């Protein structure tokens, strides 16, 4: 009996130490940093409503009259890809719509591209550059599914601003990219349609005593940089561009935005906008931002589209690495003597005042 009790105590202590050691290992094991672990998912947009909006606009016979902003930004995004002196074997365009970026590809820059969009009608009408292999898939930007390390270029133009799980999207892009693969995209920024937003707010405040979100919220610049960093991208670049388009009136602004498939799809959006509020907003828009064009004998109102462009690379040992701290040989105080420094290849001795 005593021997059995000793054996049972030994077994119990062995299980205790084993359980504690496993717990110690699990708590001290390194965790991979992801954007989803830093930023929480925000359920802002009604994805079903947005898919319906895009499908309705895709079926319009005169849709090409309302895609001028997307066409312009698509060309600018493609031009950034051409600056990379490399031929991409396998590329993906997320939220491709009618292939606003891929239509500019050439075989010497991209050999094969996969177009992904939620609208089959848009994909059927998508255009791709001559000589470029193409595949088309109906795929939601929030649930992209590609094999790991299989894509060397992911591009998106004016599509990701409707994604709820933007951190998860960045993590999935990072996962599917090959080492030294690049993620190039652009989204609408916070100052987009600021004139329309302010006019609606003033009109509703005057008539209803409060405001409703008629223009969907947009991503901020600092959030894009934070997402790229949290997802693990290197050699990051974020810049902002702005396009101002003049319209005959505020009515034309609202019409073009809606028919382009960019209508409000926020979950807390109001069901309707009253007629008197619309007329008041149009009058305020005209009064605050209207501009005369004497050379054309006309008058118009501006609409601002702020574009946030960003680039991120998947880490790879072949990429340029920063020098270690303390390896600098020239003081920043000597920048005024930069011409002299360039002429002489020898080292310049730092003075005591430079070391302070």
Q: Average pLDDT by consecutive 10-residue portion of the chain (356 residues)?
A: 46 48 46 75 85 90 91 95 93 93 93 93 91 93 90 94 90 94 94 91 85 76 90 92 94 93 84 87 93 87 95 90 75 78 63 62
Instruction: Confirm whether 336 is domain-assigned.
Output: no
CATH number at residue 289: 3.40.50.150
Confidence at residue 16, expressed as pLDDT on a 0 to 100 scale: 46
CB 128 within 8 A of CB 156: no
Q: Count the domains in the chain.
A: 1
Confidence at residue 263, expressed as pLDDT on a 0 to 100 scale: 87
Confidence at residue 215, expressed as pLDDT on a 0 to 100 scale: 73
Distance (Å, whole) CA 160 – CA 177:
17
Confidence at residue 206, expressed as pLDDT on a 0 to 100 scale: 85
Instruction: Confirm whether 251 is domain-assigned.
Output: yes
Instruction: Confirm whether 25 is domain-assigned.
Output: no
Distance (Å, whole) CA 215 – CA 19:
54
End-to-end CA distance of the chain: 78
Give me 299's structure tokens.
Answer: 């008058």
Instruction: Confirm whether 69 is domain-assigned.
Output: yes
Confidence at residue 188, expressed as pLDDT on a 0 to 100 scale: 94
Task: Read off the DSSP letter of residue 166.
Answer: H
Instruction: Confirm whether 103 is domain-assigned.
Output: yes
pLDDT in tens, 67-124: 999 999 999 999 999 999 999 999 999 999 999 999 999 999 999 999 999 999 999 9
Instruction: Confirm whether 4 is domain-assigned.
Output: no
Instruction: Confirm whether 266 is domain-assigned.
Output: yes
pLDDT in tens, 238-283: 999 999 999 999 999 999 999 998 888 888 888 788 888 899 999 9
Residues whose CB is less than 8 angstroms from the CB of residue 78 and which lie 6 or more positions away in sequence, other chains included: 101, 102, 104, 105
pTM for the model stands at 0.80
Instruction: Confirm whether 343 is domain-assigned.
Output: no
Domain containing 211: what range? 35-316
């Amino acid at each position: 009996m005593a021997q059995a009790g000793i054996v049972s105590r030994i077994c119990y202590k062995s299980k205790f130490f084993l359980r504690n050691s496993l717990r110690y290992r699990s708590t001290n094991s390194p965790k991979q940093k992801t954007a989803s672990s830093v930023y929480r998912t925000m359920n802002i947009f009604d994805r079903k409503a947005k898919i319906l909006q895009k499908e309705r606009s895709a079926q319009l016979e005169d849709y090409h009259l309302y895609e001028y902003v997307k066409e312009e930004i698509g060309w600018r995004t493609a031009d950034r890809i051409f600056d990379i002196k490399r031929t991409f074997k396998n590329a993906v365009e997320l939220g491709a719509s009618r292939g606003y970026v891929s239509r500019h590809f050439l075989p010497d820059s991209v050999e094969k591209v996969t177009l992904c969009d939620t609208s089959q009608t848009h994909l059927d009408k998508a255009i791709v550059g001559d000589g470029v292999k193409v595949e088309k898939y109906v795929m939601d930007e929030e649930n992209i599914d590609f094999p790991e390390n299989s894509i060397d270029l992911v591009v998106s133009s004016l599509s990701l601003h409707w994604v709820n799980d933007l951190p998860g999207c960045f993590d999935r892009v990072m996962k599917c990219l090959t080492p030294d693969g690049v993620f190039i995209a652009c989204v609408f920024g916070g100052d987009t349609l600021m004139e329309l937003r302010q006019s609606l707010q003033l009109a509703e405040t005057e008539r209803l005593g409060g405001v409703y979100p008629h223009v969907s919220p947009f991503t901020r610049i600092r959030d894009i940089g934070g997402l790229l960093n949290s997802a693990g991208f290197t050699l990051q670049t974020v810049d902002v561009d702005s396009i101002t388009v003049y319209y005959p009136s505020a009515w034309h602004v609202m019409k073009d935005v809606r028919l382009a498939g960019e209508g409000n799809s926020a979950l807390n959006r109001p069901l309707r906008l009253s007629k008197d509020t619309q007329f008041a907003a149009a009058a305020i828009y005209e009064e605050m931002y209207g501009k005369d064009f004497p050379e054309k004998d006309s008058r118009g109102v501006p609409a601002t589209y702020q574009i946030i462009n960003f680039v991120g690379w998947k880490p790879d040992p072949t990429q340029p690495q920063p020098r270690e701290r303390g390896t600098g040989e020239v003081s920043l105080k000597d920048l005024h003597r930069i011409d002299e420094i360039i002429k002489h290849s020898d080292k310049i001795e730092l003075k005591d005042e430079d070391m302070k």
